[in-house]
Chains A and B, each alone.
Chain A
Amino acid sequence: MHIVVVGLNHKTAPVELREKLAFPSDTIEEPLRRVTSIPQVSEGLILSTCNRVEVLAVVRDVGEGIEEIRNFLSSHHRVPMSRLDASLYSYDSYDAIKHIFQVASSLDSMVIGEPQILGQLKEAYSLASKHKTSGVILHKFLHKAFLVGKKVRTETRIASAAVSISYAAIELAKKIFATLENKVVMLVGAGEMSELAARHLLNHGVRDILIANRTYSRAERLAKEFDGRPIVFEDLTLFLDQVDIVITSTGSLHYTIRYNDVRRALKIRKYKPLFFIDIAVPRDVEPRINDIENVYLYDIDDLRGVVDANIKEREEEAKKAENIIEREILQFERWLESLNAVPTIISLRERFEEIRKKEVEKTISSMNGGPKIDKEVLDALTSSIINKILHNPVTRLKGRENTRKESYYIDAIRDLFDLEE
């Protein structure tokens, strides 16, 4: 029994090809059935998201199994193999386990650490299990993968650093102010990105938003939307002593907020920190104000720099995740190996033989002084009972025709007779 993965993802295939290979979840039953009807395949699952399409299967023979699944992908979507070949990857055994654990941990995602993939994998599993195309191996494997994904998430900070500009700004604000509660924000000018940032800030509990716009009616309208206060654009520097975070995005060609305005405001606010987020190009805030004590100014390029650093941080964390994954693969492989029929039959026989011997000894020693018992007769009798009992289960375990059932039996027998893994 081997686990294999065949598929493509955002690294190997352009979106046009990924679209062609996608499996919509509402019509997934038929392709699932087709995969498991391949003679080599005993269990199957299909993971289809906008960044990847992968068929995960348990097969008898790795080479043939992978070949059949590749053909299935090509024929089912009517894409010639010549177009698919360069984009398709396939992994088996150790590499397949590793790959799925990486996918579950979001290490293989376009944005490392993004949270959706684990949910998508769960969905794929529940569809396979609903249509009964997954068996004991995929069941155990996927649950292990979910566990690994969770573990990586909690034990590393792979998902902690913000990878979007507006979230990076929020994180910076938190590194300055600790909490955004009771902070006051000023929004200067309007624009999609500044409004998005303002909305994020509101979600993080800022107390008030002041809105300045060259067109006062626009400020009024935004104020209504954000439940804030409109202020007159020409007066905005007079409010700098009352706010903690300023987001600017005007179309102005000159600086709207100047060094001296900030200096003056800072004295009045007793040097309480002031954080400027300038997403306008050309910039709205005089760059020099970053030199003032307790004033922090980030323009759009600075924020991009933070995002880049955050991505690097996630990649650093991903290395830790690899260690976690490595340990879990070992554990899972041990379980998988135990599912081989031959060692199971051997240990099953050993277990029975052990019990039989012990009971024979017991009987003979307890018959001390009683009627004489022939040990050979006793051995012959007990052995033949055991052989009769074991005959049917062993034939079933050796059965070659249905691997899915077989692994169920092996797993059950190991559990029922407490055979060590």
Chain B
Amino acid sequence: MSILFFKIVLAFYLAGTFAYLSYLIKQRPIISTVATAMLCSGFLFHTVSITLRYMEAGYTPITNLYEAPSFLAWAIIGIYLIMQFRYKITVFGSFVSPIASILILVSSAFSKEIGPLPPILKSFWLPIHVVLAFFGDAIFALAFCAGIMYLIQEHQIKSKKIGSFYYRLPSLKVLDDINHYCLTIGFPLLTLGMITGSIWARHAWGSFWSWDAKEIWSLLTWILYAALLHGRINIGWRGRRAAVFAIVGFFAVMFSFLGVNTMLSGLHTYDR
């Protein structure tokens, strides 16, 4: 059942992405309405799909490479929709929805079978640790999109080559504010995710920190965002520099999220 819903979700997200991209070009209000409707429907089916999967599997469905990207996409779309309804920046969707679509496509490339949960993951820490980390990652994904938009808009204004993006994208101030908000919410979530992870590791593996590949990459990611937060608050980093940090930071996030599990091996690799 959850697989069927998953396919519907994929269809809605792809259609939504298509609509958001054509909105970026055509700028017709009706297209943005359609795009939002697609994404909202996709999100509802996604919620149902994840709930069903939870009931079928008996544990929070975030343990393998089919479940995890899908869950991250769900979190990204959920937070994005809240933002769109609050701040009314529809073009943002043209940057966010492709990311969610790619994640869902990644997800669909992996086996959807529900295997027995490795004994080590049978813990109440699983949902706490992973959900915190994923919501942090989702917010960093939004900061990444805002960063890309910032760089485009800044280039247009700085180089004085006014193109169609100049009219379509929001102001530099708004984009920089999004970067700031995302950082102040995402960073604590990431930190909490890592703290809960290390407490769990103490119970499961016997030590708080064991230099596993995922741990190292997460630490690197954490240091990047910590540097940005420090720079923002104490030195006055903003604008272009903050945007670049958010983009680089998100690549680190994606690598510790997907790359580590597919390319490296370590304690966090469960589904091989």
Interface residues in chain A, defined as those with a beta carbon under 8 Å from any beta carbon in chain B: 155, 157, 160-161, 172, 174-179, 269-273, 290, 293-294, 296, 298, 302, 305-306, 309-310, 313, 316, 320
Contact = CB atoms under 8 A, between A and B. Distances in A.
Contacts of A293: 239-241
B167 A157 contact: yes
Interface in B138-175: 153, 157-158, 160, 162-164, 166-167, 170-174
Contacts of A271: 236-239
A285 to B, nearest CB: 14
A306 B160 contact: yes
Interface in B211-259: 235-241
B29 interface: yes
Nearest to B240: A293
Given A270-B235, A271-B236, A313-B167, A176 B172 contact: yes
Contact of A270 (B166, B171, B172, B236): B236
A294 B241 CA distance: 10
B27 interface: yes
B241 to A, nearest CB: 7
Nearest to B167: A313
Interface of B: 27-29, 153, 157-158, 160, 162-164, 166-167, 170-174, 177, 235-241
Nearest to A175: B171
23 contacts: A157-B167, A160-B167, A161-B167, A174-B171, A175-B157, A175-B166, A175-B172, A176-B171, A178-B171, A178-B172, A178-B177, A179-B173, A270-B235, A271-B239, A273-B173, A293-B239, A293-B241, A294-B238, A294-B240, A296-B157, A305-B160, A309-B163, A309-B166
A172 B160 CA distance: 10
A269 B235 CA distance: 10
B153 A273 contact: no
Nearest to A177: B173
A300 B240 CA distance: 25
Contacts of B177: 178
Given A270-B235, A271-B237, A313-B167, A176 B157 contact: yes
A298 B177 CA distance: 24
A157 B174 CA distance: 21
Nearest to B153: A175
Given A294-B239, A316-B164, 18 more contacts: A157-B27, A172-B157, A174-B171, A175-B153, A176-B171, A176-B173, A177-B171, A177-B172, A178-B171, A270-B235, A270-B236, A273-B239, A293-B239, A293-B240, A293-B241, A309-B162, A309-B166, A310-B162
A175 B155 CA distance: 12
**Residue of B167, B172, B173 with highest tally of chain A CB at under 10 A:** B167
Contacts of A161: 167
Contacts of B153: 175
Nearest to B160: A302
A316 to B, nearest CB: 8
A124 B96 CA distance: 49
B167 A272 contact: no
A272 B172 contact: no
Contacts of B162: 305-306, 309-310
Contacts of B27: 157
A155 B26 CA distance: 11
A294 B166 CA distance: 17
Nearest to B159: A290
Contacts of A172: 157
A293 B241 CA distance: 9
Contact of B29 (A155, A176, A270, A290): A155
Contacts of A294: 238-240
Contacts of B174: 178
B173 A178 contact: yes
Contacts of B167: 157, 160-161, 313
Nearest to A303: B160
A320 B153 CA distance: 24
B164 to A, nearest CB: 7
